[in-house]
Each structure stands twice: as structure tokens, then as C-alpha cells.
Amino acid sequence: MLMERIWSGNALRNFHYLIACPETGEALAVDPLEWRLCLAAARERGWQIRQIVNTHEHADHTGGNVPLKAATQATVAAHAGAAARIGGVDRGLHKGDLIRVGRTVELECLDTPGHTMTHVCLLSHSEEPALFCGDTLFNAGAGNCYNGGAPEALYDTFVTQLARLPDEIRIQPGHEYLARNLEFTLNREPHNADAARLLEEARHHEPASARITTLGEEKRINTFFRLHSPEVIAGLREQFPDLPQNPDARTVFVRLRELRNRW
């Protein structure tokens, strides 16, 4: 599998991805909002964009569909439940569906509600597996839930799906928020040495060359995977005095999400 991450340079800090077959040069574009950048990158590499996948229905992920489709005749795929809202979707995706790119690339659809209720993540079945996770999981953070999502559903997605994937998976999200998210981790868990080290590194990187984390790293630096940390729980109980001494993980997640909304 060949992959290129494309930095949008926009205010929303979107990342786009091209995933290509090394044998045929056929490519798939994930959330290509700045579609001209995607087209130029494909041309430079000699790839032909044949498919577009939207991880979810928000306009900063779907806004490039129409012009990119017009330029390439690519087909558009998205969560079956989001297809009507997006419009122009050729293939509705369901949990477990496989998307093939050329002869060699296979991507598995995960149904991952929470940021919105119709969100897919793509898991590559490749030597260096990657998860294209849209606005569900960010490097060191979690998607917000106030545009059609639900924090309880996001918790379930994190715990029953994402946390169970292999630690070596590379996390390829829809936006670049690494430094800001690490600052939140350290706000909640000031003694997290891994987060402090990575923040130092993140501050010296341009967004275009931002660090790609693995799921194993996320479990050490992402507050939303650290629901049993005594420091996280103690800090939350200061913010929310109604919390019991040993709140369950779901409650910790939901309250962290609530704090992050106004942080």
C-alpha cells in the first residue's frame, strides 16, 4: 500500500489522504476537501484517483467530492446512513465492508459512531497497518460530539473497537491537533512524561510534517484512553464534585469530553 498524507493548510487544519496500489497506480482519496491539492499530489506520483471515501457527513470532509469527481470520474463511498445527507454517494458503506484499491490494497470499514452517528474508519490490511479515523480519534485526542454525535456512543467506539486494535496501528486522523491535544492531556494529567516529551517535539514541527502516532502511543498520551489513571480521576473529581470516588470508565470519558468542549 502506498500512502500520502496531504496537509490542507486551511484554518480547520484538515488532513487528506491518498491511498494507492503500487502495481496499478489506482488511488483512493479520503475526505479530499482541498481537492486540487489531492489531484496535484496524485498527478505528481503518477496515480489515478478512482475512489473517494468520506469518513462522515461534515462539509469539511465532503466539500471536495463534486469537483474531484468531475475531474477524475471517481466513485464516492460513505456510511450508508450518511449517504442521503451527503448526496451523490455511489456506494453506501456498512461495518465489515471491504474496499479494494487496485490489485493489492484492502481497506476494512469500521462503523464508529460518536463524533456523528454515521462515521466510518478505514483499517488497512497492509504490512504497516493504518487507521484512517476521520474525526473519531485524533492524535492525542477525541472528536467532539456537538454536531450530530453523542459522547456515550464515542466511548463505546473507543472501548469496544479502537482500544482492541493492535498497538502498532498508525493513527491517521482528519485534522492536525496534536500539540493542542497534548496540552489538554497535560492539563488533566500533569505527570504524564510521555505526553510532555511528545509536546516538546510537536511544538517544533510544521503541521505538514506532524508526527504520526501509533495506537500503542495513544494509550499513553491520549486522555481519552487513560480512563483508569488515578491522576485523571482525581483531577476530574475536583472539577465535578458530584463524582463518586471510583467513577466508571464511561462516566470519566463523558466528563472529559465535556471539559474538553470548554477548555
**Minimum distance from CB of 82 to Zn ion (Å)?**
11
Residues contacting Zn ion: total by CB under 5 A: 4
Query: Which of 13/220 has CB closer to Zn ion?
Result: 13
- 111 is a site residue for Zn ion (CB under 5 A): no
- Structure letter (DSSP) for residue 2: E
- 34 is a site residue for Zn ion (CB under 5 A): no
Question: CA 185, 186, 189, 194: dihedral to nearest 10 degrees?
Answer: 90
Candidates 74-82, 100-108, 134-142, 185-193 — which segment interacts with Zn ion by CB under 5 A?
A: 134-142
Candidates 54-62, 149-157, 219-227, 251-259 — which segment interacts with Zn ion by CB under 5 A?
A: 54-62
Amino acid at 56: H
- 79 is a site residue for Zn ion (CB under 5 A): no
Candidates 50-58, 65-73, 194-202, 212-220 — which segment interacts with Zn ion by CB under 5 A?
A: 50-58
Query: Which of 30/80 has CB closer to Zn ion?
Result: 30
- 135 is a site residue for Zn ion (CB under 5 A): yes
Candidates 15-23, 95-103, 170-178, 198-206 — which segment interacts with Zn ion by CB under 5 A?
A: 170-178
Q: Is the alpha carbon torsion for 230, 232, 237, 242 positive or negative?
A: negative
What is the pairing mode between strands 48-53 and 75-79?
A: parallel
- 58 is a site residue for Zn ion (CB under 5 A): yes
Query: Which of 1/82 has CB closer to Zn ion?
Result: 82
Q: In angstroms, rounded to a whole number, what is the distance separating the alpha carbons of residues 159 and 146?
A: 20
- 69 is a site residue for Zn ion (CB under 5 A): no
- 60 is a site residue for Zn ion (CB under 5 A): yes
Interaction pattern, residues 208-237, with Zn ion; x per rule: CB under 5 A: ------------------------------
**Minimum distance from CB of 135 to Zn ion (Å)?**
4
- Cell 469527481, residue located: 69
Query: Which of 135/217 has CB closer to Zn ion?
Result: 135
- 176 is a site residue for Zn ion (CB under 5 A): no
Q: Is the alpha carbon torsion for 129, 135, 139, 144 positive or negative?
A: negative
What is the pairing mode between strands 141-142 and 170-173?
A: unpaired
Q: In angstroms, rounded to a whole number, what is the distance separating the alpha carbons of residues 15 and 71?
A: 20
Q: In angstroms, rounded to a whole number, what is the distance separating the alpha carbons of residues 189 and 199?
A: 13
What is the pairing mode between strands 26-30 and 137-138?
A: unpaired
Of the chain, the end-to-end C-alpha distance in Å amounts to 38
Q: In angstroms, rounded to a whole number, what is the distance separating the alpha carbons of residues 184 and 168?
A: 24
Chain residues in the site for Zn ion (CB under 5 A): 58, 60, 135, 174
